[in-house]
A and B are shown apart, each in its own frame.
Chain A
Amino acid sequence: TQLLEQSPQFLSIQEGENLTVYCNSSSVFSSLQWYRQEPGEGPVLLVTVVTGGEVKKLKRLTFQFGDARKDSSLHITAAQPGDTGLYLCAGLPVEYGGATNKLIFGTGTLLAVQP
């Protein structure tokens, strides 16, 4: 069974602080995605990473895929209240092949940014 463990589970910080969320597994993934979900809504895709060691930036968010493609991190610089939400990583295990949408989701990190 593939598992994606996220840490921390909960994070409450002040506006302007920096934070990092981690997503770890013992499985190898052909790609990994990060989503943000707000209460009562579906997850919204933030980024997809496919190459080991890849770094992608989306404004104040920086995403990294581990060299071995078993882990990923999300770093937020100068967090704002609008960043509040549930952050989910989701991966496509290598053994599933590429032509499927059967994603394994992480356990989630609930972020609250206080003004």
Chain B
Amino acid sequence: KAGVTQTPRYLIKTRGQQVTLSCSPISGHRSVSWYQQTPGQGLQFLFEYFSETQRNKGNFPGRFSGRQFSNSRSEMNVSTLELGDSALYLCASSRDRGPHNYGYTFGSGTRLTVV
């Protein structure tokens, strides 16, 4: 079966711009989570969506937002980009909530570079 698909794979944006990243989960998976990975901070939780509702949010400023559609696809948006937003953004899907019960599959990520 197809894995988690993230688009685009690479993005270069200028400070002050905004960006939208997309994630298509594995068919049948209803839970989508987003993480930011940087060399200094490692993987940090951004959001968790289940059945089109945000269930949890990490400690990120309001410039970071997201949503989930009825087909479970998810998007995240970052407005007013800062240099420090340069990172690998990872999406993970699972059939339900609770990774120890249902497994957790990551996409290959979107590498965002802000210049």
Range class of the A interface residue count:
20 to 34
With a cutoff of 8 Å between Cβ atoms, the chain B residues found around residue A31 in the complex are 99-100
Q: Which of B48, B101, B104 has the most CB of A within 10 A?
A: B104
Tell me, rounded to whole Å, the shortest Cβ–Cβ distance linking B20 to chain A: 19
Pick the contact of A101: B4, B31, B107 (CB < 8 A). B31
Count contacts between A and B, CB distance < 8 Å.
75
Which residues of B does A touch, CB under 8 Å?
Answer: 4, 31, 33, 35, 42-45, 48, 55-56, 58, 90, 92, 94, 97-101, 103-109, 111
Beta-carbon contact of B108 and A42 below 8 Å: yes
CB pairs A–B below 8 angstroms (5 shown): A41-B108, A43-B90, A105-B42, A106-B42, A107-B42
Q: How far is the CA of A103 from the CA of B99 in the complex (A)?
A: 9
